[in-house]
Amino acid sequence: MDSVLQLTPRQRVELFEQTTQQTGIDAVIVEKDFWVCWTLKELFRLPAIGEHLIFKGGTSLSKVFKVIERFSEDIDVSIDRGFLGFGGANEPGAGGSNKEKQRRIEALKTACQQKIALELFPALEAAIKAKAGKSEKWTLRLDDDDPDKQTVLFDYPTSFAPAAAGYIRRLVKIEMGARADHWPCETRTVTPYVAEQFPKGFREPSCAIKVLSVERTFWEKATILHAEFHRPAEKPMPERFSRHYCDCYELIRKGVAKSAAAKLDLLARVAEHKNLFFKTSWARYGEAAKGTLRIMPPEHRLKALRDDYGKMQQMFFGEPPNFDTMLGTLKQWESEFNQQ
């Protein structure tokens, strides 16, 4: 992948536009996809850190498992808790009172913040500088909008004019943390669209990364929707949230939900984990089980959800799923799952 960094901006535009001609994918998306994959490669090759990371979330569904047909622009990476000194008896859920568990979770967050700020960030910045140099216009910065101070933003060197971006943000958002459960996982490869179309132009078109299993990711998504169903009406739905509904719809269509439904122990593990690490007074993770799981949005959220979904149309490859069809599929799956 590093060979692309040796090209001039004009040559990169030509490469990205040639990929667009082959795939029909917007050139701005092709460019950002390259930088997402390149950033993943650099992250997982960081000395003493990379081996303790796991890739998860929506981007893993599109880039690794290829089960969703939209562009996923952010990187969701988790740091192993054991690497931070919170394994075994120090696990937040290893016993003790609820107060003690919360104390461990706060200590884990602090340890993660320090690992990112003092080790991972400088190491990634050095890796980018070694490959991209000083002539490229790029910055790496901590996200000031993240109250947990665990998100890094990579403003990559774009070759396109700002007006061409539309819904696409010209940065790679690397969301990190250490609360995620890393089981089950597997090693897979990730390849940018440019390398898929022109593999002979790359000495190393792909990179190997550790990724959370696709069934686990389905249950992670489903429990996000379950919590959203129970969110108090006065609390606004987060922005760019419709993607979770769309992802679950695609996972149902592709058969992932069916295989996940045979692993109710995994659903229980996800719900228990969220009840510990992402506990709220209203999410009702204890009801995220057969018979009471909710993945459909409540009626009062539909307008906001439809509007949010309309804004993300540029992210799809080909014709986006019809909004009402998507909800109909979710409703049918929810009903069948709860009645089995």
pLDDT tens per residue across span 106-140: 999 999 999 999 999 999 999 999 998 766 789 99
Q: For residues 56 and 212, what is the distance between their CA atoms, to the nearest angstrom?
A: 5
pLDDT band at 184 (very low <50, low <70, confident <90, very high): very high
Q: Which residue has the higher pLDDT, 313 or 191?
A: 191
Q: Report the pLDDT value the prediction gives residue 71, as an integer from 0 to 100.
A: 81
Q: For residues 320 and 69, what is the distance between their CA atoms, to the nearest angstrom?
A: 9
Q: Report the pLDDT value the prediction gives residue 163, as an integer from 0 to 100.
A: 59
Q: What is the pLDDT of residues 233-274, one digit of tens each?
A: 999 999 889 999 999 999 999 999 999 999 999 999 999 999
Q: Report the pLDDT value the prediction gives residue 182, as an integer from 0 to 100.
A: 95
Burial annotation 96-117 (CB, 10 A radius, 16+ → b, else e): eeeeebeebbeebbebbbebbe
Q: For residues 242 and 257, what is the distance between their CA atoms, to the nearest angstrom?
A: 18
Nearest to 49 by CA among 124, 99, 101: 124
